Chain A
Amino acid sequence: MNELQTILSDSVNRLLADYSTKQTIVAAEQGEWPKALWDELVANGLTRVLVPEDMGGAGATWSDAYVVLKAAGEHAAPVPLAEAIVAGWILARAGIAIPDGIVTLMEGDFLLKEGRLSGKATRVPFARHATHGVALVKSGWGVEAVLAPLDYARLDKDQNVAREARDTLYFERVVVETGWVELPEDGLRLFGALARSVQMAGALDYLTKQSVAYANERTQFGKPIGKFQAIQQQLAVLSTQSAAAGIAAAHACAAADKGEASFEIAVAKVRVDDASSIATSIAHQVHGAIGFTYEHGLHFATRRLWAWRAEFGSGAEWAEELGRAAMERGADELWPYVTGR
Chain B
Amino acid sequence: MQTFRFDLCELPEETRGLREEVRAFLAEELKTIPAVIRAQTWSGHDQAFSAKMGAKGWIGMRWPKKYGGHERSAFDRYVVLEEMLAAGAPVGAHWIGDRQSGPLLLNFGTEEQRQLILPKVAKGECFLCIGMSEPDSGSDLAATRTKAEKVDGGYKVNGTKLWTSGANRAHYMIALFRTDPEKKHDGLTQFLVDLKSPGITIRPISDLAGNSHFNEVVFQDVFVPDSMLVGSEGSGWAQVGAELAFERSGPERYLSSYLLMKELIRELSKRGGEEGAKEVGRLIAHLVTLRQMSLSVAGMLDKGENPALEASVVKDLGAVFEQDMPVKAHELIGAEPTIGGGDDFTEVLAYLTQTVPSFSLRGGTREILRGIIARGLGLR
* Segment from A52-60, A143-151, A166-174, A243-251 that makes contact with B: A243-251
Residues of A within 8 A of B286 (CB): 271, 274
B282 touches A247 (CB 8 A): no
Docked Cα-Cα span, A101 to B343, in Å, equals: 63
B19 touches A331 (CB 8 A): no
B3 touches A248 (CB 8 A): no
Quick check: is A293 within 8 A (CB to CB) of the other chain?
Answer: no
Quick check: is A97 within 8 A (CB to CB) of the other chain?
Answer: no
B285 touches A319 (CB 8 A): yes
A247 touches B292 (CB 8 A): yes
A79 to chain B, nearest CB (A): 25
A248 touches B19 (CB 8 A): no
* A327 nearest in chain B by CB position: B273
A338 touches B373 (CB 8 A): no
- Among B10, B281, B374: residue with most chain A CB under 10 A: B281
B364 to chain A, nearest CB (A): 13
Chain A, 79-101, contact with B by CB distance < 8 Å: what is the 0/1 string?
Answer: 00000000000000000000000
Quick check: is B167 within 8 A (CB to CB) of the other chain?
Answer: no
A267 touches B289 (CB 8 A): yes
Give residues 254-275 of A contacting B (CB, 8 Å).
254, 264, 266-268, 270-271, 274
Give residues 138-190 of B contacting A (CB, 8 Å).
none
Docked Cα-Cα span, A89 to B265, in Å, equals: 37
A243 touches B379 (CB 8 A): no
Quick check: is B263 within 8 A (CB to CB) of the other chain?
Answer: yes
* Contact of A212 with B6 at beta-carbon distance under 8 Å, contacts A266-B281, A323-B281 already known: no
- Across the interface, A248 reaches (CB within 8 A) one of B10, B276, B281, B285, namely B285
Docked Cα-Cα span, A147 to B7, in Å, equals: 36
A239 touches B19 (CB 8 A): no
Quick check: is B203 within 8 A (CB to CB) of the other chain?
Answer: no
* B274 nearest in chain A by CB position: A324
Chain B residue total in the interface (Cβ 8 A):
52
Quick check: is B228 within 8 A (CB to CB) of the other chain?
Answer: no
B294 to chain A, nearest CB (A): 10
B180 to chain A, nearest CB (A): 30
Task: Report the contact-size class of chain A (Cβ under 8 Å from the partner).
Answer: 35 or more
B284 touches A251 (CB 8 A): no
* Contact of A331 with B285 at beta-carbon distance under 8 Å, contacts A233-B374, A235-B379, A236-B374 already known: no
A212 touches B377 (CB 8 A): yes
B370 touches A237 (CB 8 A): yes
Docked Cα-Cα span, A264 to B7, in Å, equals: 16
B284 touches A326 (CB 8 A): yes
A240 touches B296 (CB 8 A): no
Quick check: is A335 within 8 A (CB to CB) of the other chain?
Answer: yes
- Across the interface, B289 reaches (CB within 8 A) one of A1, A237, A271, A319, namely A271
- Among A216, A226, A236, A319: residue with most chain B CB under 10 A: A236
Chain A, 220-250, contact with B by CB distance < 8 Å: what is the 0/1 string?
Answer: 0000001101011101110110111011101
Quick check: is A15 within 8 A (CB to CB) of the other chain?
Answer: no
* B375 nearest in chain A by CB position: A232
* B293 nearest in chain A by CB position: A247
Docked Cα-Cα span, A315 to B316, in Å, equals: 22
A322 touches B284 (CB 8 A): yes
Residues of B within 8 A of A7 (CB): none
B4 to chain A, nearest CB (A): 5
Interchain Cβ contacts within 8 Å, total number: 163
Quick check: is B279 within 8 A (CB to CB) of the other chain?
Answer: yes
A213 touches B316 (CB 8 A): no
- Among A231, A319, A338: residue with most chain B CB under 10 A: A319
A240 touches B6 (CB 8 A): no
Quick check: is B269 within 8 A (CB to CB) of the other chain?
Answer: yes
Residues of B within 8 A of A227 (CB): 379-380
A232 touches B380 (CB 8 A): yes
Docked Cα-Cα span, A251 to B291, in Å, equals: 11
B265 touches A243 (CB 8 A): no
Quick check: is A208 within 8 A (CB to CB) of the other chain?
Answer: yes
Docked Cα-Cα span, A236 to B10, in Å, equals: 27
B373 to chain A, nearest CB (A): 4
Quick check: is A332 within 8 A (CB to CB) of the other chain?
Answer: yes
B299 to chain A, nearest CB (A): 12
B285 touches A240 (CB 8 A): no
Residues of A within 8 A of B316 (CB): 236, 240
A233 touches B370 (CB 8 A): yes
A208 touches B3 (CB 8 A): yes
B3 touches A331 (CB 8 A): no
- Across the interface, A322 reaches (CB within 8 A) one of B19, B285, B296, B371, namely B285
B339 to chain A, nearest CB (A): 22
Residues of B within 8 A of A332 (CB): 262, 266
Docked Cα-Cα span, A123 to B252, in Å, equals: 44
B379 touches A244 (CB 8 A): no
Docked Cα-Cα span, A318 to B285, in Å, equals: 10
Docked Cα-Cα span, A105 to B374, in Å, equals: 40
A182 to chain B, nearest CB (A): 24
* B82 nearest in chain A by CB position: A339
* Contact of A243 with B313 at beta-carbon distance under 8 Å, contacts A205-B3, A339-B82 already known: yes
* Contact of A323 with B377 at beta-carbon distance under 8 Å, contacts A232-B370, A243-B3, A250-B8 already known: no
* A263 nearest in chain B by CB position: B288
* A264 nearest in chain B by CB position: B288
A residues near B, CB below 8 A? Answer: 1, 205, 208-209, 212-213, 215-216, 226-227, 229, 231-233, 235-237, 239-240, 242-244, 246-248, 250-251, 254, 264, 266-268, 270-271, 274, 315-316, 318-324, 326-328, 330-332, 334-336, 338-339
- What 5 A-B pairs have minimum CB-CB distances, sorted nearest first? A319-B281, A322-B281, A323-B277, A323-B281, A323-B280
18 intermolecular pairs with C-beta atoms under 8 Å apart: A239-B3, A239-B313, A239-B373, A239-B377, A246-B6, A248-B285, A267-B284, A270-B281, A271-B285, A271-B288, A319-B280, A319-B281, A320-B281, A326-B280, A327-B268, A331-B263, A331-B265, A334-B262
**A205-B3, A323-B277 are known contacts; what are 7 more A-B pairs with Cβ within 8 Å?**
A232-B379, A243-B3, A244-B317, A266-B285, A271-B285, A322-B281, A323-B284
